[in-house]
A = this chain, B = another copy of it.
Amino acid sequence: MNEKNTEDTFYVDRKDFSGWYNEIIDRAGIVDRRYPVKGMPVFLGYGYFIHDRIMRFMEEIWNRTEHQKMLFPALIPENLFTLEAHHIKGFEGDVYWIEKAGFNELEERLLLRPTSEVPMYHMFSLWIRTHNDLPFKIYQTCAIYRYETKSTRPLIRAREVPWNEAHTAHDSFKDAERQIAEAWAGYDELFEKYLGITGIKFKRPEWDKFPGAVYTSAMDLLMPDGKVLQIVGCHNLGQNFSKVYGIVFEKPDGTKDYVWQTSYGVSTRLLASVISVHGDNRGLILPPEVAPVQVVIIPIIFKGKEEIVMNKCMEVKKMLSENGIRVKIDERTKTPGNKYYYWEMKGVPLRIDIGPKDVEKSHVVCVRRDNREKYFVKEDSILEFVKKILAEIFNNISKKYVESLNKHIHNVESIDSLKDTMKNGGFARVPFCSVGEDGLACNEKIKEMGYDVRGTLYGSDELPDNKKCIVCGKEASNYVYIAKSY
C-alpha cells in the first residue's frame, strides 16, 4: 500500500541510473515524495527501517567508543549563530528562520539547525573546565534543515536530513588527530560490517572545507552512474570554534588554553548508497544486516494441499524467527511468479519456496537475491544454510562493489585525455599545482569541464615527482582526484 505502483514486476535498466533510482525509491516504499513541502519526503516503513538500523549500528559504535548520546534543541538563537564568521557565511543562505510563534513576534529570531556546531559549542563552554574533562565526546541522532536551492533528490539532497553527528573536544591538536582516526575506524566498521559499501577518503582542498574547519576529510562513494557522492564528512576544527565560543580548559600546570575540536557525521546518504550500490535491474539487493525482511517464504499452493504447505511454511518461519532471522510468509492471493518479482524488487536477500513436493521430500527451495542461485536444502539444515548464505550474500555484494570502485580509479596526466578516460565515470588521479588558494584558478577550469577536485588522498602522502599540473602546467605539488559529483 505504500508503493505507488501496484504491479509486481520491476525491471529498469540501470544504465539510466537516475530513472532507476527514482523508480525504486517509490516502488520499494523507501520515501514518499508527495508530501507537500519540497525536499521533505515522508520516510516510509520499509525505507525507514533500513535507515534506522544503519543509525543504530552507528550508535553502537559511538557508545562503545565512549561518545555520550545527547539531544540538542533544533532551534538556535540568531545571536549565537552569527558569532563564527566563516560558519555563518557558509550557512546563511540555507537556514529556515522563525520570527513568529503563536500570535507573537519573537524578540529574537530563531533558526532551525543546519548543523550543530553552534548550539553544542556554546554548551561545551559551560561544561568543560579542566583537562580531566577531556577528551569530551558526544553525538546525537536528529534531523538538520537546509534550504537547498539546488534541485533536491530523495536521501541525497533534501531540505530535512535525518542524520548522526558527533562532536569532540581535546587537550591538543594531536589528540584531535587521534580522534579523527577513531572516527574513521568507526565509519569503516559500519561500512565493512553492515553495509558492504566503502569509498575513497580525501582531504578536501582548502576551498571545499567545512565552514570554520582547519581541514575537512571526507569519503566519496562511487555511484553506479560514475558520479561520486560524499557520504562522510569528518572535520578537524582546530581552535577556530573554541576561540569564538570560549571553550577553555585548565592544563595540569595551571595554565589555560582553548580546546581542539573535531566534528563528523553521516546522513540518509548511507541509505541512498546502500540502495544504489547493491541494486540491479530487478530492484534492490539489501545487505542482510539492514534488510527489513531477510527471508521471505512463498507458499506454492496446489488444491487440496493448502494445509500441509501452509503448516510447513509456518513451521519454518517460526524456527527462523526464534533464531533471530527477520522472516515473512507472503500469503497474498497472487501467483508465485508475481511474488517473486515483488520480493526481488524489495531486495530481500533470500527467498524460500515451499510446495507440496518439497514437503514430501523434506526439503525447501532457496533462491539468493544477489546472483539468483537456487539450492535444495534439507529441512533439518535450513537454519545453518540461511545463516551461511546471508553471510555469503553480504560478502559477495561487498566484494563486487569494492572491485567496481577499484576499476574506476584512473591515472590521467593530461587535460586532453581527462574526458575520454572518464567517459565511464569514476575518479581521475592527476598531478595538480596546489590544493591551497593558489589552486583555485585551475579548479575553476576543472569545474568548467563539469568535474570537481575532490582532494588529496586522506592519510597518505602521494607526492608527485617532477610532474606538471594538468591544468596550468606549473610544477605539481599534489596528486588530486577529480570526479563528477552529486
Report the bound CA distance from A50 to B93 in whole Å. Answer: 37
Per-residue 0/1 for A1-27: is the Cβ within 8 Å of any B Cβ (1 yes, 0 no)?
110000000000000000000000000
> A2 to chain B: which residues have CB within 8 Å?
127
A102 touches which of B34, B68, B149 (Cβ 8 Å): B149
A43 touches which of B37, B71, B99 (Cβ 8 Å): B71
> Interface stretch among A73-81, A401-409, A438-446?
A73-81
> A379 to chain B: which residues have CB within 8 Å?
none
A74 touches which of B71, B93, B143, B147 (Cβ 8 Å): B143
> A123 to chain B: which residues have CB within 8 Å?
32, 34-35, 42
Q: Check A77 against B138 for contact (C-beta < 8 Å).
A: no
How far does the Cβ of A114 sit from chain B's closest Cβ, in whole Å?
Answer: 10
Q: Check A93 against B99 for contact (C-beta < 8 Å).
A: no
A288 at the interface (CB under 8 A from B): no
A431 at the interface (CB under 8 A from B): no
Q: Check B45 against A138 for contact (C-beta < 8 Å).
A: yes
Residue ID in chain B nearest A94 by CB atoms: B102
Q: Check B102 against A95 for contact (C-beta < 8 Å).
A: yes
Per-residue 0/1 for A66-109: is the Cβ within 8 Å of any B Cβ (1 yes, 0 no)?
00111111111100100000000000111111111111100000
Please tell me the number of chain A residues within 8 Å of chain B, measured between CB atoms. 58
Report the bound CA distance from A99 to B41 in whole Å. Answer: 20
> A76 to chain B: which residues have CB within 8 Å?
37
> A126 to chain B: which residues have CB within 8 Å?
32, 34
> A97 to chain B: which residues have CB within 8 Å?
98-101
Residue ID in chain B nearest A67 by CB atoms: B45
Q: Check A40 against B95 for contact (C-beta < 8 Å).
A: no
Residue ID in chain B nearest A119 by CB atoms: B35
Residue ID in chain B nearest A133 by CB atoms: B1
A128 at the interface (CB under 8 A from B): yes
Q: Check A73 against B35 for contact (C-beta < 8 Å).
A: yes
Report the bound CA distance from A110 to B41 in whole Å. Answer: 15
Per-residue 0/1 for A45-58: is the Cβ within 8 Å of any B Cβ (1 yes, 0 no)?
10011001000000
> A257 to chain B: which residues have CB within 8 Å?
none
A103 touches which of B41, B93, B110 (Cβ 8 Å): B93
How far does the Cβ of A325 sit from chain B's closest Cβ, in whole Å?
Answer: 15
A129 at the interface (CB under 8 A from B): yes
Report the bound CA distance from A68 to B293 in whole Å. Answer: 13
> A199 to chain B: which residues have CB within 8 Å?
none
Q: Check A102 against B147 for contact (C-beta < 8 Å).
A: yes
Known: A99-B97, A100-B97, A101-B97. A40 touches B73 (CB 8 A): yes
How far does the Cβ of A161 sit from chain B's closest Cβ, in whole Å?
Answer: 11
Q: Check A52 against B34 for contact (C-beta < 8 Å).
A: no
A162 at the interface (CB under 8 A from B): yes
Residue ID in chain B nearest A98 by CB atoms: B96
Q: Check A77 against B1 for contact (C-beta < 8 Å).
A: no
> A72 to chain B: which residues have CB within 8 Å?
35, 42-43
Q: Check A69 against B93 for contact (C-beta < 8 Å).
A: no
How far does the Cβ of A157 sit from chain B's closest Cβ, in whole Å?
Answer: 15
Of listed A48, A70, A94, A147, residue having the most chain B CB within 10 A: A70
Report the bound CA distance from A123 to B35 in whole Å. Answer: 7
Q: Check A102 against B98 for contact (C-beta < 8 Å).
A: no
> A99 to chain B: which residues have CB within 8 Å?
97, 99-100
Q: Check B45 against A68 for contact (C-beta < 8 Å).
A: yes
Minimum-distance CB pairs A-B, first 4: A45-B68, A101-B147, A40-B73, A43-B71
A36-B80, A97-B98, A99-B99 known; 7 new pairs, CB 8 Å cut-off, are: A1-B128, A37-B75, A43-B72, A48-B70, A73-B160, A96-B98, A97-B101
